[in-house]
Amino acid sequence: MSLLIRISETDRRLLLLLQHSESLLARFSKGVSRSADGPPYLVSGVLIFLLVPEGGRFFAHLMVAFIIERSLYWSLKNTLKRKRPAQALPGFHSQIVAGDEFSLPSGHTSAAFLFVSILTVHYGFLFLPLYLWSTAVGFSRVYLGVHYPTDVLVGALLGSAIAFSTVNVFS
Residue 146 has pLDDT above 80, yes or no: yes
- The confidence score (pLDDT) of residue 1 equals 67
Residue 51's pLDDT band, with cuts at 50, 70 and 90, is very high
pLDDT in tens, 56-109: 899 999 999 999 999 999 999 999 999 999 999 898 889 888 889 999 999 999
Inside any domain, residue 7: no
Q: In this structure, is residue 147 part of a structural domain? A: yes
129 within a domain of the structure (yes/no): yes
Residue 16: predicted pLDDT = 72
Choice between 141 and 128, residue whose per-residue pLDDT is larger? 141
Q: 10 in a domain, yes or no?
A: no
Residue 54 lies in a domain: yes
In a domain, 5, yes or no: no
Print the domain residue range for 164: 25-170
What is the pLDDT at residue 138?
Answer: 97
Q: CA 50, CA 96: separation in Å to the nearest integer?
A: 35
145: left (phi over 0), alpha (psi -120 to 50) or beta: left
Cβ-based burial of 55 (10 A; exposed 0-12, middle 13-18, buried ≥19):
middle
149 pLDDT above the threshold of 60: yes
pTM of structure: 0.86
With respect to residue 67, please indicate whether it lies within any of the assigned structural domains.
Answer: yes
Question: What's the structural domain count of the chain?
Answer: 1
Asked whether residue 14 is domain-assigned, the answer is no
Residues sharing a CB contact under 8 Å with residue 21, sequence separation 6 or more, in sequence order: none
